[in-house]
Amino acid sequence: MKPSPTLELGQHRLVICLGPGGVGKTTLSAALALNAALAGRAVDVMTVDPAPRLLDALGLGSGHTSIQSVPLAGLGAHRGARLRALKLDPKLTFDRLIERHAPNAAARDAILANRIYRNLSTAMAGVADYMAMEQLLELHRDASTGLIVLDTPPAREAIDFLDAPRRMLELLGSRAITLLGAGRSAMRGRFSMLDVAARAVLSAFDRLTGLHLLSDVQTFVRSFDGMYAGFADRAAQAQALVRDADTLVVVVTTAELERVDQACEFIDALAALGLTVGAVAVNRMMTPLPAASAIDNVAADLPAPLKRKLKRNLDDFAALRRRETAAIDHLRDRLPPRAIMVAAPDLGREPRNLADLVEIARSLRRH
């Protein structure tokens, strides 16, 4: 029987790899990106996970904050091949966003120097999620890039990341932004007594503590005047991009019942966000086992006790294979409509170099 083709990425511009922690999602992201690049595409692979695993897998320095080129020499790359990798730096991305979209140099400098901004751009997870979307849009606007592969954090954090544009749109449309940015005269004419009371409490807190928090927050919010529409527009673009027909959502798992259950819960959570899973990749599948009779045929000269031990080992692996098969059957029953399942065999070792990543990607088969 002719083997099924590898996971086909030709019609896609963006591939988002998601899944529980510890299933080899980052390795598979790197492998898919590398394989597509060797086929002649210009590929950018980005990780949102703060850990440096993606860059490590590609043999790159994890301390870099700029995009890095992956050397493809000696791997049989086709003409046009290019692979670049990037680990998200939320603060650097936010700073570049301010520098690019501030209405003038004075507004830019005021925002970058504001203590609220400095804390916000480094400390809040929600900001990191949104900045990842900004970085993704920046890569997507690069006409020279044919494919983007996105490696996301483990499942729960990935949901927050994918939901970041919606949360940003809600924030920009909230009363809190309007309330904090309004002047005293505008506040009297436009806000309820509850809004006025809230500001009064914050002002009293400032007077008691001497922190000038309300003043700093107001200064920060007002410094973004004229930029909120741009933020909202890009949030809407990011929201549309991850749901675009040219985007392939791949959920990665292993063939263990607990991991499969986690993957199924994750698929349901993605559906609630309006995201359609196009493929489920089962990583580290067991290789086919020989028949028990093969031990007698191949190891005829071995001592009987060793043969018995080999047969017990084979029985143990057969039991593992049955559990794996049951987990795969369970996963197949839960697959979303039109989603395909692909599987990659266990290499029997941790991937050590780019050649190992190529082997993983090219071993992916319809299952």
Dihedral sign, Cα of residue 28, residue 137, residue 40, residue 50? negative
Contacts of 219 (CB under 8 A, 6+ apart): 110, 114, 116
Bigger pLDDT: 118 vs 201: 118
Task: Over range 216-226, report the average pLDDT.
Answer: 69
Instruction: Return the axis-axis angle of helices 213-223 and 193-209, rounded to nearest 10°.
Output: 120
List the single range of 208-212, 224-228, 238-242 with lowest mean pLDDT. 208-212
pLDDT of 223? 72
List the beta bridge partners of residue 68.
85
Sequential DSSP letters for 234-261: HHHHHHHHTTSTTEEEEEEEESSHHHHH
pLDDT for the residue numbered 191 = 41
Report how far residue 292's alpha carbon sits from residue 68's, in angstroms, rounded to the nearest whole number: 50
CATH superfamily for 14-162+245-291+320-366 is: P-loop containing nucleotide triphosphate hydrolases (3.40.50.300)
Phi and psi for 14 in degrees, rounded to 5?
-135, 130
pLDDT for 183 beyond 50: no
Average pLDDT score over the chain: 79
Q: In a 3-state reduction of DSSP, which class is residue 69?
A: strand
Higher pLDDT, 52 or 231: 231
Q: Summarize pLDDT for 250-301 with one digit per residue, the tens.
A: 999 999 999 999 999 999 999 998 899 999 999 999 887 766 666 666 666 7
Give percent above pLDDT 90 in the chain.
29
User: Is residue 164 very low, low, confident or very high in pLDDT (cuts 50, 70, 90)?
Assistant: confident
Which one, of 360, 278, 276, 284, lies nearest residue 327 by Cα?
284
CA gap 257, 328 in Å, rounded:
8
Question: What's residue 232's pLDDT?
Answer: 81
Beta strands 42-47 and 247-254, pairing class: unpaired
Over pLDDT 70: what percentage of the chain?
77
Tell me, what DSSP letter sits at residue 39? Answer: T
State the residue for tokens 């007594």.
193
* Distance (Å, whole) CA 281 – CA 7: 9
Q: Are 56 and 289 in contact (CB under 8 A)?
A: no
C-alpha 56: how far from chain center: 16
CA distance 322 to 334: 19
Name the range with the highest mean pLDDT among 5-14, 91-100, 352-361: 352-361
Please report, for the chain, the start and end positions of each structural domain, with discontinuous segments joined by +: 14-162+245-291+320-366, 164-242
Residue 192 has pLDDT above 90, yes or no: no
Is the pLDDT at 101 greater than 70, yes or no? yes
Give the number of other CB atoms < 10 A from CB of residue 303: 9
Q: Kindly report, residue by residue over 29-38, the tens digit of the pLDDT.
A: 999 999 999 9
pLDDT(27) > 60: yes
pLDDT higher at 120 or 355: 355
**Residue 318: per-residue pLDDT:** 84
The whole-angstrom separation of Cα 91 and Cα 214 is 23
Sign of the torsion angle spanned by Cα atoms 322, 326, 331, 337: positive
State how beta strands 340-345 and 279-285 pair: parallel
Label the pairing between strands 82-87 and 340-345.
unpaired
Most confident of 121-130, 221-230, 231-240, 266-275: 266-275
- Specify which of 6-15, 151-160, 186-195, 265-274 reaches the highest per-range mean pLDDT: 265-274
**Residues β-bridged to residue 250:** 17, 279
Kindly list the distances between the CA atom of residue 147 and the CA atoms of 41, 179, 195, 288, 314, in Å, as whole numbers in the listed order.
7, 42, 48, 34, 43
Q: Which residues pair with 280 in a beta bridge?
A: 251, 341
- Compute the average pLDDT of residues 124-138: 77
pLDDT at 209: 44
- The predicted pLDDT at position 50 comes to 65
- Region 46-63: what's the mean pLDDT? 76
Residue 88 has pLDDT above 90, yes or no: no
Whether 218 shows a pLDDT value over 80: the answer reads no
